[in-house]
Structures are given as structure tokens and as C-alpha cells.
Amino acid sequence: MALLPDFVTGNAGLCLIAASCIGATWLYYRRASTLPNVPGPPPSSFLTGNLLDVVAPATGRDWLLNVSTVYGGVAKLGTLFGGHSLLVNDPRALHQVLVKDQDIFEEWSAWTTTNSLLFGPGLLATVGSQHKKQRKMLGPAFSVTHLRVMTPMFVSIARELETHISSMVQNNPQEVDMIGWLTRFALEAIGRGGMGRSFGNMTEATIFSEAAKQLTASLSVMSPGATLTPFFKYLGPPQFRRLLLKSIPWSLLQRLVDIVDIMDDEAKKILAEQQKDLANHDTDKDGEDIIRILLRANQASNEEERMTEEELVAQISILVFTAMDTTSTAIARVLHLLALHPDVQEKLRAEVIEAYHHQDEAVDFNNLSALPYMDAIIKETLRVYPPIPMMFRQTLKDTVLPLLHPITGEDGKVMNEVHVEKGTDIVVNIIGANHNTKTWGKDASEWKPERWLSDLPESVTKIRDLSGVFAHQMTFIAGNRSCIGFNFAQLEMRVVLAILIQSLEFSIPKDKEIAWNSGLLMTPVLEGSSSIHTQLPLIVKKRKI
């Protein structure tokens, strides 16, 4: 998937790049930092620094890993017009950025502004006290207690998925694009579990499901223009900005506007339905979904603490966006790896069949958590192949980053800390942290589920308080902006694997090679394809039970 060539094709693409560069002139003066002694890769150009290296679809992931290997836990990256940012994967420095001094290292303004323009003032678009208020109110809906209640619903949807795929391969093995089916599963899971409604037949796409599926692909293509968005919000009221966007003759941009409209309209309908049910004390629905729990909490809050109607609508769109693509690509990565490693696949299958060898054995929260090999596969996959390879922060005042592993500066002297000026952008190198050989050992970049079946090395356990919220790794980040739905995503992964692996076998097509491209997410594509859309063709065979 040649995202950047697609992006720069045509006058509209070139105009957006030019606009980004003009806007970035201001960013240079704001972000330029005195980091002359921190080593780092030479900029590819004065105009773009290392930015195009970082976002290159086919090579960005490997580039980040190589920089971490060569330069250590902190590296200096070139940005627009000769500016600099810091690429960070050192455990102690990440703890400082994400946990200890998280109020100093705030979410990147280009990220929050983009999310605000796309979804409204929801969890991904807010900072400071507003973000803390929203997260506190959403928290109970993602608790383990609530997930226990939701497990039967996930199992039901997974069985629907298995039934549809089994019917396709009943007589003979067939090539199946698994990412399409997994996306439908994830959308239906967040629909029923999050919104209290179904988004339609799993075998048939709807206008909404197609829009939601295309959003990430469209944004990934346009990501090089992200630095423009903080300026865009100053170009007048929303109506004028919308008119401005509509005047740009770029089909991809126009499609993005349509996608946002479709998702916003659906979110408003969902909220209206939920508010009506709550007002009528409707208790007929199965269990308590996320939005209903949120509305009850909002209703019970003090008036000054309550979310506005706009904030509530934004939460719905954001939940659909984040829960659908990240989960489906994570499950897709596991299935791809199982297809590449049939011995691991068979070992997992044996564990699952042994656990559910009685036909009336229910797949529930407790026994899903008691499958050590499945747990190892999920943890190792999320460590080696995090769906999101990096995140960004901006420094709000001068500070110091302490290092667990000192680096050697360009002057040859050992650096135990790095002085960071206000305005410096921090690239949180998730994949670099997860592959850090000083933490995980020389085989850090190898996919070895077995490493989780015995005691982890001291180098891993000693950073327990410095690492993220999940299994000593940074996949779900840490601090008050960690992924609120990481337990939700893991449960979906466990349920799908437990249901599919019992009756289906997965292998790699002989005539196709699957690659994974960097963008907003790591997404599967066919090697050499120029499409912006994801594909994961696997040979699926029905097992005789």
C-alpha cells in the first residue's frame, strides 16, 4: 500500500503539503529545542527532517526500531525546517513523560485538534481537567466487573462469525479475507456492548460500517498534513471551515468529510435512542452497555461536572473508531502469525479443545483467563507487533528526562539525563520500548510466546513500575492517557480465538505475500498493492470435529 505516493499524487495533494509546510514555519520557531548533544539519525532533508522516514508506510516501523538500536533510549529527530524532537523508548524517561510528569507532557496538539475536528470534544480530543472528567465517568464501563457481564454477548457474536466463515469453507478450504470479517466482528462487539444496538447483518455492509471501516485508511493517507490542523481551527467558524474543505477538489478529502458526517449522524441517533430509553426506564435490553452506563453517571453528576451533548456524541464516534480498527488488526495479526507458525496454532488449538472438550462447556470470562498458552500468544503478539507503533506528546515547560540506560552524547560524554525545553515534541516510541534488548534480551524482536510461560528475566520485572498498564510493555501506553479499553480489547481477542481455533485451520496462500504497513495503525496489505484498504487473505479449512 503506497500511501505516500497516493498522498502526493495530484494538485490537491501537493497543495496540502505546501500548506502544511507554510503552517510548519511557525511550528519550527515554537518547537526548535537546544538538543545539540543528543545523538540521532541525520535528517533526510532540511524541509521535512526525518518525518517522512517515520511515517513511511512500508519501512517506518523498521526505521523506528533501527534508530532505537543504533542510538539507544533517546534520539534526536529532525522535524520541519530544521527543528528537532525527541524519540524516546528508555523506560525511566517514558515513566517521566507518561506518568510522573504527565501534566508537563501533554497530548500533541495536532492529534487532539484533528480528533476534535473529526469527532468533537471526546476522550481523544480533550486535555487537562476536561479529559480527566471524561475518563473518570467512562471508567466503570470498562471495569473487569462489567466485562464479565459482557462476555456472553462477545461469545454470541464470535459464534455468528464462526458460523458464517464455516459455511464458506464447509466443503473445501477457501481463501478468505479475514480482516474484513474481523472488522465486522469488532464493529458489532462495540455496537452491542458499547452502544446497545446492532450495526446490522454481519454478512452485509451498511453505509455506517463502510464509513467506519474507511476512516483509518483515509486518515493514514493524509497523516503527513497533520501539522496543519492546529491552524485550521482558527480559519473561522465550523460552517466556514466546512465550506473551505468542500472547495478543495480532492476526492479523498471529500470522502473523509462524508465519512465524518455519516458517523456524526449515527452517533446523534444512538445518543437520542439511549436518552429516550433511559427516560422511559427501558430495561429490556441485554445488560448495560457503555453509553448507558455513561449516561447514568452523567445524570448523577453535579451540573458543573456533567458532559455536554456535544461531548456525549463525540464519545460515541470515538469509541467506534478506536474499538473497531485497533481490535480487528490485533486479532488479524494473531491469525497471521498462527498461519505462519502451524506448530503454535496446533498447540493453541489443543489447549482450547482441552478446556472446552464438553459441548456444553460455556466460554466465559473465568475460563478464558485460565488459558496460559493463549495468554502468552496474545501478550507476545501485542509486545512484538503493537497495533500503534508510536504516540506523540508536547512539552509544556522546561524539564529534565532521567534515563535508566545512559547514552553517549555527540561530545563523547555519558548522559544520565536530557534537558528538554518547553515546546519540544516527544515521540513515544512504543515499538522501540517493546523491542528494547536491555529489557527483553537479545531476542527482543523475535516472536516467542513461550517466554511468557516461565519467569520473566529480572530486566523485565524490575521496570514493573516504569512500564505501561499491560504486561511490562508500552502497547497500551501508561498514565492518564493510557488506553481505557485495553481489557475490552483483550477479551475480544480471547473470545474470537477460543471460538475460531476449535473448528477452523488457517494457513498462508502460496501465491500471495502479506505485508504490514505503518499509518495510524499497523495494517495488513498485499505486498506490492497500491490500495489504501486493508487485506488479509488466509486459507481457511474446516476441521472435522
Q: Which residues are annotated as a binding site for heme?
A: 483
Residues 6+ apart with CB under 8 A from 369: 375, 494
Which value, in Å, is the radius of gyration of the alpha carbons in the chain?
Answer: 23
What letter would DSSP give residue 96?
Answer: I
- Of 199, 323, 307, the C-alpha closest to 262 is 199
- DSSP states of 375-400: HHHHHHHHHHS-SS-EEEEEE-S-EE
Separation between Cα atoms, residue 104 and residue 180, nearest integer Å? 40
Cα angle, residue 210 at apex, residues 207 and 211 outer, rounded to 5°:
85
User: Cell match 483509518: residue?
Assistant: 216
The count of C-alpha atoms lying within 13 angstroms of the C-alpha of 529, restricted to the half-sphere facing its C-beta, is: 19
Half-sphere exposure of residue 282: CA atoms within 13 angstroms, side-chain side: 14
Name 525's bridge partners.
515
What is the number of residues in the chain?
545
In angstroms, the CA 178 to CA 171 distance is 18
Other C-beta atoms closer than 10 Å to the C-beta of 287 total 14
> In whole angstroms, how far apart are CA 185 and each of 7, 75, 220, 281, 411?
30, 40, 22, 29, 54
Annotated binding site: 483
Q: Nearest-CA neighbor of 491 among 312, 333, 371, 351? A: 371
DSSP helix/strand/coil, 324 = helix
Burial code (b: 16+ CB inside 10 Å, e: under 16) for 397-416 equals eebebebbbbbeeeeeeebe
Cell 506518568 locates to 99
CA-CA distance, 295 to 287, in Å (whole number)? 15
Using a 10 angstrom Cβ sphere, with 0-12 exposed, 13-18 middle and 19 or more buried, the burial of residue 456 is middle
Cα angle: 459, vertex 463, 465; to 5 degrees = 160
Show the cell assigned to 93: 524517561
